[in-house]
A and B are shown apart, each in its own frame.
Chain A
Amino acid sequence: MASSGNKNINAKLVLLGDVATGKSSLVLRFVKGQFVEFQESTIGAAFFSQTVAVNDATVKFEIWDTAGQERYHSLAPMYYRGAAAAIIVYDITNQASFDRAKKWVQELQAQGNPNMVMALAGNKSDLLDARKVAAEEAQTYAQENGLFFMETSAKTATNVNDVFYEIAKRLPRLQQAPNPSGMVLVDRPADRATGASCCS
């Protein structure tokens, strides 16, 4: 949940999506301006922070780059709980990853923060020749589900910063009761995840 104070907004942002869609590459492009061709799979989740300035405020993103591996799916709530924004990533050259992205959207709609700003990112847009998911199809899906949609390329940096800026702009500016601790990780019943296991 975004919390504001003197127009400084802390926003928890989570990236979700199938294996090898480029979540880590998007984050590394955004945070460090880097790209590596053979990005190793993420284990658990990696944490980054990056600040962006939009018209009227400074938004500090606390970014959870989650692992796309199946064994981590049941642990995803741990990362998206309390998130102010989510980027659901698919690979435009892989239809299955788009199907998986729709499942993430459903899960977030059912379980996530209702005010969450959701973005759908069709990554690897530089690989036009291998395209399997039409931009129109994704655009339609995004509109129907209240997401905003962009095709991105972490490799060429196309639209990468734009996604994060767009999210920053859309974050709710006024919080009725800003969390004094500025950290919302803990206000969840503790019973759920203790003793959690990969296939519980």
Chain B
Amino acid sequence: MTSDSNSSSSDSSSGRDDRNPDSGSEPDPNPESIDQSLDAIENQLASISMASRSPTATLDDDEEEEEDQSAEQLTIGNGSVEEEIGVAGAIDSIEDEHIVDNNNIRAELPGVIAESPSFEWKNISEGDEVERPLSPNSSGYAGERGSTSGGDDVNDDEEDTEIRVVENDGVSGSHEQWVSGKRYPDEDDASVSWRKRKKHFFILSHSGKPIYSRYGDEYKLAGFSATLQAIISFVENGGDRVKLVKAGKHQVIFLVKGPIYLVCISCTEEPYESLKGQLELLYGQMILILTKSVNRCFEKNPKFDMTSLLGGTEAVFSSLIHSFNWNPATFLHAYSCFPMAYATRQAAGAILQDVAGSGVLFSLLMCKHKVISLVGAQKASLHPDDLLILSNFIMSSESFRTSESFSPICLPRYNAMAFLYAYVHYFDIDTYLILLSTSPDAFFHLKDSRIRIETVLVNSNVLGEVQRSLVDGGLHIEDLLMDPGSRAGANSSHLGQPRPAADSSGRITDGFVGIGGPAGLWHFIYKSNYLDQYVSSEFSSPINSLRQQKRLYRAYQRLYASMHDNGTGPHKTQFRRDENYVLLCWVTQDFELYAAFDPLADKALAIKICNRVCQWVKDVENEIFLLGASPFSW
């Protein structure tokens, strides 16, 4: 790859280099640029390609499933894909394609149902998976992907599948079916499969020693690592710094942090700024585990081997990298709050505030990746990125769930040189408390604080509310449908209201037309610049497959990058229509709104709906945001 690369020492080379070192073997695998109808083709192809799949080709990683397999399947279905792309050029034809999609899906339905039990093996530990031969109909991924396009029958079936997943492992969020940990540890840079992976992440030392690789064995990748180091130092010797190399459809992004080099090799067409942000977070995650004083090891011994210092943390890194595909916090640099009644959050905040006065630096009550409440000691501020890598660290390390733990961690944006001491305790499977102290002797004090907090949380039923709220789900686009007039008076728009069971099942089928008629709103993200918080709606049913959600996520990511591109100046609004959806972005001093509509959405109507969304967010802001306490700063 490197021999054919087009080396550039700036990130401004926007012109695409068409030289493609792999063009002989692969057609363009870019799933994003291809029409929705690809889903339908893949459904058809799924059964074909599965039958010919080798036993070692595990399909459990949704990223690989999408990134790798789509390429593979494209090879098989090349002719028909091109046909479909041709048709997709005209927006008028989309309605027809929807119909085609539905027919295809219906044809696939029996298969989908038969395959849904295969979710079970995704919960088995990694070692098992690799060795376990895949029978042709136990892919798991076909069950997810079988319902990628929006038809009523399909939605019902997807609902079925979701429920089974919940029964199996007790989680409902789609990304949580993903299994963490090192993937494909036997690969190295000579493996064909390794070379085909769409997105690599490497951490290496300035002497070229591998520290971390997303795929494959670090030690076997020593030669490859040395090559990366050679590229970086070659440019550095010329008094310059390499940021980006484009080689055909691959981008190689470099980030130098003292003696630590981070490299991402990707053909996902994500913007440079996004990938660089991901490398920054990866570095932050490493600092959280080791502190920046790890640099001193390299001062003493430039050839220091850092791999062993990161022993047992593969799951932390792989889970962070996975979150680059679904968690908007990774590019918005904001955190999200768990939606709950204002009074309940106040009760939680009050007790956290109480212990914060007694020598606790930060108290965080979290539910999965979302903040229920957090309090910082006076003048202490927590950066949203630190919160992201801290919650990732805790959620991806199983051992925190076994018992209460006391562990040194470093918040890079707070103080990159020193450890803080984190007391972590899970109240239930989703809800956990983090108490941070500067003192290594604080364990028993923090434990006592936790007992006090727990008593209050139990007495005020905060934990019960959280569990109920989890079942209810978050912000549903469908709730916006309610007449604005009735919303002001009644509290019907409030979150956390128990919904009748009939309502939640009916929503799935009714909702697929979107809000505001057949060309309505599908999804939105609202970020409050003042609070450093964002709120994201639940995905409505037109985008209920993992694949579609990831595509929309990537589209938001590009939108965010283009809105914040310094080169072309800050933009205020953007209206963008393609064959998948209409994207509308609106950036003001106070907030940023990203919204996705049906591709046939009318512009004026879309803008009107955006105004309604903003009004709605304002109406329920004390339930979706953590107000008052603002310990966040840059």
- Which residues of A does B touch, CB under 8 Å? 19, 24, 28, 38, 40-48, 65, 67, 69-72, 75, 78, 183, 185-186, 188, 190, 193-200
B294, CB-defined interface residue at 8 Å: yes
A47: chain B residues at CB < 8 Å are 403-406, 443, 447
CA distance in complex: A133, B309 (Å): 26
- Is A24's CB under 8 angstroms from B399's CB? yes
B483, CB-defined interface residue at 8 Å: no
CA distance in complex: A193, B403 (Å): 24
Query: Could you list 17 examples of A-B contacts with CB < 8 Å?
Result: A19-B311, A38-B127, A43-B400, A44-B407, A45-B407, A47-B403, A47-B404, A47-B447, A48-B403, A67-B407, A78-B441, A185-B443, A186-B441, A196-B440, A197-B293, A197-B410, A197-B417
- Is A46's CB under 8 angstroms from B408's CB? no
- Is B405's CB under 8 angstroms from A198's CB? no
CA distance in complex: A194, B308 (Å): 24
Within 8 A of A (CB), among B257-292: 289-291
In the complex, how many angstroms separate the beta carbon of B389 from the nearest chain A beta carbon? 14
- Is A196's CB under 8 angstroms from B399's CB? no
Q: In this complex, what residue of A is CB-closest to B298?
A: A199
B444, CB-defined interface residue at 8 Å: yes
- Which residues of B does A touch, CB under 8 Å? 125, 127, 289-291, 293-294, 296-297, 308-312, 315, 393, 397-400, 402-408, 410, 417-419, 422, 438-441, 443-444, 447
B418: chain A residues at CB < 8 Å are 194-197
In the complex, how many angstroms separate the beta carbon of A58 from the nearest chain B beta carbon? 20
In the complex, how many angstroms separate the beta carbon of A39 from the nearest chain B beta carbon? 8
A71-B438 contact given A47-B403, A199-B296, CB 8 Å threshold: no
CA distance in complex: A199, B309 (Å): 9
A40: chain B residues at CB < 8 Å are 315, 397-399, 402
A45-B406 contact given A38-B125, A190-B441, A195-B418, CB 8 Å threshold: yes
- Is B312's CB under 8 angstroms from A46's CB? no
In the complex, how many angstroms separate the beta carbon of B409 from the nearest chain A beta carbon? 8
Q: In this complex, what residue of A is CB-closest to B290?
A: A198
A196-B419 contact given A19-B311, A45-B405, CB 8 Å threshold: yes
- Is B441's CB under 8 angstroms from A185's CB? yes
A69: chain B residues at CB < 8 Å are 309, 311-312
CA distance in complex: A64, B417 (Å): 26
- Is A46's CB under 8 angstroms from B311's CB? no
Interface pairs A-B: 6 shortest CB-CB: A44-B407, A41-B312, A40-B398, A197-B293, A193-B440, A197-B291
Q: Which of B290, B294, B408, B418 has the most CB of A within 10 A?
A: B408
In the complex, how many angstroms separate the beta carbon of A86 from the nearest chain B beta carbon? 17
Q: In this complex, what residue of B is CB-closest to A71?
A: B309
A65: chain B residues at CB < 8 Å are 403
Q: In this complex, what residue of B is CB-closest to A182?
A: B444
- Is A198's CB under 8 angstroms from B399's CB? no
Q: In this complex, what residue of B is CB-closest to A75?
A: B408
- Is B443's CB under 8 angstroms from A46's CB? no
In the complex, how many angstroms separate the beta carbon of B307 from the nearest chain A beta carbon? 10
In the complex, how many angstroms separate the beta carbon of B222 from the nearest chain A beta carbon? 20
In the complex, how many angstroms separate the beta carbon of B277 from the nearest chain A beta carbon? 25
- Is B407's CB under 8 angstroms from A71's CB? no
- Is A46's CB under 8 angstroms from B441's CB? no
CA distance in complex: A15, B510 (Å): 58
